[in-house]
A and B are shown apart, each in its own frame.
Chain A
Amino acid sequence: MLLAAGVDVGSTQTKAVIAGERDGFRLLGRALVDTGSNVQRAAENGFLAACREAAVAPEEVGYVVGTGYGRYKITFGHAQMTEISCHARGAHFLFPATRTVIDMGGQDAKAISVGARGEVLDFVMNDKCAAGTGRFLANAAEVLGLGLDELGPLSLAARHPVKITTVCTVFVESDILSYLAQGKQAEDILGGVHLAIARRTVSLARRVPLEAAITMTGGVARNLGMVRALEQVLETKLEVSPGAHFAGALGAALFALEKMDAGMKAGNRRPADAILAG
């Protein structure tokens, strides 16, 4: 079986997927590692860990597509594609009815309009401001002394969500401190934080045609509180895969499978050679 990989080097985490094609697409392995300061090493570690999970030797992988902000640092990859194309492709694969993707990652929030074949028709992103992204939530968690995993469940317990007026990732800290000083409950503060991000993200997303089905991808999709807040603002249900944060890497792997034939014919080196040589 010919094997391909997608490696999504995000600002916070690196995701890798190993896939093969025999009687249809097969997802063989996946891995998630922190990106940290060495982007190249993170890409390699993610790729090798996914190979281990797939129980394949790295040299068996014929083609790698890199995506995410660190894509140009993936020295063993054959091609780079933006995470916009890859998330669209991945989301469409997971939910073929997808016409809009909302992707929320560590530093990016984007909305992608997707065609019937998973192609990108249009997209919008936040611009040089981390409001409405994972970083906003991470800051809120830090002020409240909570772990990231605790945010979603706690926010769902909110009975009277507070009104968060700022959308600034930095200034939200003072808003939260001020509510804490007023004796507000953490869950109500978090409920407000989630709604503030949801409103901002939806106002961004309305700049592309917001057609159903809407699929959410990216690391923030693991936060159920965020999913529910978006659904509340959008007044519609979102499609969310348990592996939503792998959508970019999955899309990259799908592109890699497509490109593999041509790549092998062109005599490209295998990714493992580059890693082993390095």
Chain B
Amino acid sequence: MPASIPSEYRGRMHQAQRELMQRWYERLEESARSGNPPAVSLMIAGNCVELLEGFGAVPLYPEINALQLAIRHASLAPILAAEELGYAADNCAYVKADIGALLQGLTPTGTRLPTPALVLCNFVGCNTYVKWFEHCAEFQGAPLTLLDVPFLRTDEPRAEDVAYIVRQLQEIVAQLEAITGRRFDAERFREAVRCAARVEEAWSRIKHLARRTPSPFDAYFDAITLMGPLYVYRGRPEGVAFFELALEEMEAKAARGEGLYDQENFRIVIEGPPPYPFFRAFRDMFAAWKAAPVASTYSTVGGLWEFGFRHDPDRPFESLALHMLAHNVTNRNYLQRYQQIRRYVEEWDADGVVIHFVKSCRLFSAGQGDMRDYFTRQLGIPTLYLESDLEDPRYFSTAQIRNRMDAFFEALEHARATGTHRRGAALVRANGPAPGDEPAKVAAGPTLRILD
């Protein structure tokens, strides 16, 4: 393994990101102090943050609080507090960290967080979140509404599902009017949707820049940096300015031919959330091998825009519904996730896939063993499977994870040295049964024929 670890790129966008997130916490504190702006709890997956702009409300994301605690190495104490309260060891660690922090009065930045005017469980794909938000509402003494988004059962969203979500969104508008005493500003909402479409365009173009060799953009670790503004500010002009700045910066890097490292050795697609308590250590394991994360599924939890979907100011409610229903990774079925990763491997021309299994997350992790089989056995794409957790530091063992990472990259390096290495685009074209098709090539030995 190379001895030195390349440092990460830090530009104007990183400074701007810090300022935006700090300002968000200030707004939340203002809300805690005065009730103005009103706060509404949302979940990240397929969020409908634009709707809140119609009330001038600020979003409160329990997941961001949880991950911010973890990244600051402060998640274990609230997790233990939640376990003392009776939450089981295998409960979602996000839930435990957030509930524990809530009860301990712990916040990521030390600033106060408001009691939300409404706990809006925009249920997209995760059943556990329903209980999480029920508990939040109970502990915070806030009203709770469940926005029921059906799983995407068909390739294309069904009209009745869209209508079902639109109707619920309109009910929530009426409910928020009653709770906040503010009239819904339809024009401001439309403007928020317009902002979102611009943010999504810039974000998507940044992601497409990672198709270049070398990739100027770290589509996993740096994508996560950008995800805060993406979910908090997507419907606001500050969000547009931020993402257009980030795009400009990445385009300039691309024009200079700058990659993440002095030399890009490998191009990797990453599936699954990161181990937030060891975020830097995990990043350094890729950097040590000069492996560039060129695409990731985790960065599409809040929305999947790189394949073309945009919010539409001419159909604001319908486009919110479509986004929640069909254009985020969590509400899509597993074969669609295979297809998404396969497209990344092929179109972003990756050398391999790294799957990070999260022990306490059934939503993201169930089925990843089969996913590994699909990529390794049917497509012949080197795929590494790692296990730890996104929030609970007790499940991460540095030596074990590094050992697996080193072995994976050693094998890629060896394949390259011996001339047997092939990149994703060529492999997918050569081997590629689509998910759901009859496998063209199944290795000998007992295998699960998961896609029959």
Residues on the A chain within 8 Å of B373, using CB: 207
Instruction: Tell me, rounded to whole Å, the shortest Cβ–Cβ distance linking A46 to chain B.
Output: 20
Q: A254 to nearest B CB, angstroms? A: 12
Which 5 interchain pairs have the tightest Cβ spacing? A84-B407, A120-B411, A209-B443, A82-B407, A210-B445
Q: Kindly report which residue of chain B lies nearest to residue A125, judged by CB atoms.
A: B404
CA distance A206 to B445 in the complex (A): 8
Interface of B is mostly: helix
* CB of A69 closer than 8 Å to a CB of B: yes
Using a CB–CB cutoff of 8 Å, the interface residues on chain A facing chain B are 69, 80-85, 115, 117, 119-125, 127-128, 206-207, 209-211
Instruction: Decide if B445 touches A121 in the complex (CB within 8 Å).
Output: no
Q: How far apart sit A84 and B405, CA to CA, in the bound complex (Å)?
A: 11
The contact sample of 22 A-B pairs, CB cut-off 8 A, is: A69-B399, A80-B1, A81-B410, A82-B407, A82-B410, A84-B407, A84-B411, A85-B414, A115-B420, A120-B407, A120-B411, A120-B414, A122-B376, A122-B382, A123-B404, A125-B400, A128-B397, A207-B369, A209-B445, A210-B445, A210-B446, A211-B445
**A69 to B400 alpha-carbon distance, docked (Å):** 9
Docked complex Cα distance between A125 and B399 (Å): 13
Within the complex, the shortest CB–CB distance from B360 to chain A, in Å, comes to 14
Query: How many whole Å from A5's CB to the nearest CB in chain B?
Result: 19
Q: How far is the CA of A69 from the CA of B406 in the complex (A)?
A: 12
- Could you say which of B383, B403, B420, B447 contacts A82, with CB atoms under 8 Å apart? B403
> Nearest residue in B to A107 (C-beta to C-beta)?
B400
Interface residues of B in 363-405 (CB under 8 A from A): 369, 372-373, 376-377, 382-383, 385, 387, 395, 397, 399-400, 403-404
A124 touches B385 (CB 8 A): yes
Q: Is there an interface contact between A121 and B411, defined as CB atoms closer than 8 Å?
A: yes
List A contacts of B377 (CB < 8 A). 209
CA distance A81 to B406 in the complex (A): 8
| Residues of chain B with a CB closer than 8 A to A80's CB | 1
Q: Does B444 contact A (CB under 8 A)?
A: yes
State how many residues of chain B have any CB contact under 8 Å with chain A: 29
**What residue in chain A is nearest B404 (Cβ atoms)?**
A125
**A128 touching B1 in the complex, CB below 8 Å, given contacts A85-B411, A209-B445:** no
Question: Which residues does chain B contribute within 8 Å of A206, judged by CB atoms?
Answer: 445-446
Report whether B1 and A127 are in contact in the complex, using a CB–CB cutoff of 8 Å: no
Complex: chain B residue closest to A205, CB-CB? B445
On whether the beta carbons of B395 and A128 are closer than 8 Å, the reply is yes
Interface residues of B in 384-441 (CB under 8 A from A): 385, 387, 395, 397, 399-400, 403-404, 406-407, 410-411, 414-415, 418, 420
Q: Taking the nearest CB of chain A, how far is it from the CB of B345, in angstroms?
A: 16
Contact yes or no, B369 A85, CB < 8 A: no
Asked if residues A128 and B400 are in contact (CB atoms below 8 Å), the reply is yes
**CB-contacts of B150-181 with A (<8 A):** none
Complex Cα spacing A115 to B414, Å:
11
**Chain A CB within 10 A, most for which of B383, B385, B400, B407:** B407
Which of A83, A121, A127 lies in contact with B387, CB distance below 8 A? A127
CB of B407 within 8 A of CB of A117, answer no
Query: Nearest-CB distance from B295 to chain A (Å)?
Result: 22
A64–B382 Cα distance when bound, in Å, is 28
Chain B residues whose CB sits within 8 angstroms of the CB of A123 once the complex forms? 404, 407, 411
Known: A69-B399, A119-B418. 5 other contacts (CB 8 A): A84-B403, A119-B411, A121-B411, A123-B404, A128-B397
Q: What is the CB-to-nearest-CB distance from A154 to chain B, in angstroms, rounded to a whole number?
A: 31
CA distance A207 to B383 in the complex (A): 12
Min Cβ gap A215→B in Å is: 16
Q: How far is the CA of A117 from the CA of B376 in the complex (A)?
A: 19
